[in-house]
């Protein structure tokens, strides 16, 4: 079982409009709704790849009920979410059909009480007992300590469970210091963490801060991985346009599944890059077509890069 943690779950709603114009009314041509939050997206992709996944985090209110009802329809995804008094947030993605661009609106999430946070920590430690790997994903809802991910990384390491961290800002900075096995920032998050806008330098700096391996998402330029074993760059086919929502989460699922399967790094990165690209091309945020993914997998280029001391 692979465990994914989403402390700030969401009900993802995607609107498609012919063209998005400021200060105008719009007729929505298509609406999709699904359980969301980074770790839930990761779990759905893991299930599609044939891995059993368990999701934990928080869910509450009518939105939380709708999220859990929808999650019940996801095969091979086990719901271990902690009920809370506050209402789960919604995220709204508006896709402009004319350009393919997406506008995202994210609510902040419910206020988590101390007793609810303690209940989550107990459940998390119990679930680690049967986990092959764990992903800690996304933002922190109000009320959760800013150092929460650092503590969860240390707990996973104490249980000898490989841990991937995918967050941003101060939670990322503190979490990296707890020495996770893998962090997966995007270029902006990596620059904020290290102060460097040069990906090669920034990934090395992130390793010095505590991460064993850094895989940086560079958008259309693919993934850059830096570990004790070496450095690689994975590049998708050029000219891909679509909705990037959930693409990074698909990359996380690719990395986690390949880790559990003990694939070599070039194959891990090829899988993660192809899944990310297939998600961009999907009409619904955070999903992918299997045939599109398999085609892209044959066209991803993975090359080693010169190693610089970290």
Active-site residues: which are they? 249
| Contact predicate 207/183, CB 8 Å | no
d(CA 34, CA 40): 10
């Amino acid at each position: 079982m692979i465990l994914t943690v989403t402390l700030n779950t969401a009900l993802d709603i995607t609107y498609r409009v012919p063209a998005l114009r400021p200060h105008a009314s719009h007729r929505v041509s298509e609406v999709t709704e699904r359980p969301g939050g980074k770790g839930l997206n990761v779990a759905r992709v893991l299930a599609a790849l044939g891995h059993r996944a368990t999701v934990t985090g928080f869910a509450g209110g009518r939105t939380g009920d709708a999220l859990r009802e929808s999650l019940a329809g996801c095969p091979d995804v086990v719901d271990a979410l902690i009920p809370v008094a506050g209402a789960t947030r919604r995220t709204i993605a508006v896709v402009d059909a004319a350009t393919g661009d997406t506008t995202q609106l994210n609510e902040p999430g419910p206020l988590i009480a101390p007793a609810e946070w303690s209940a989550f920590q107990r459940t998390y430690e119990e679930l680690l007992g049967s986990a092959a790997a764990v992903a800690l994903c996304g933002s922190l809802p109000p009320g959760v300590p800013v150092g929460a991910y650092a503590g969860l990384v240390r707990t996973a390491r104490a249980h000898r469970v490989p841990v991937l961290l995918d967050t941003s800002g101060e939670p990322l900075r503190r979490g990296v210091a707890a020495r996770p096995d893998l962090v997966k920032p995007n270029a902006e998050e990596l620059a904020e963490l290290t102060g460097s806008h040069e990906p090669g330098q920034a990934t090395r700096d992130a390793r010095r801060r505590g991460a064993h391996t850094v895989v940086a998402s560079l958008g259309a330029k693919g993934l850059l991985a830096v570990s004790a074993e070496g450095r690689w760059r994975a590049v998708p086919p050029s000219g891909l346009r679509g909705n990037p929502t959930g693409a990074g989460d698909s990359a996380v699922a690719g990395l986690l599944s390949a880790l559990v399967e003990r694939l070599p790094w070039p194959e891990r990165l090829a899988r993660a890059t192809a899944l990310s690209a297939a998600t961009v091309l999907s009409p619904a945020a955070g999903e992918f077509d299997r045939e599109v993914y398999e085609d892209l997998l044959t066209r991803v280029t993975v090359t080693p890069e010169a190693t610089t001391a970290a």
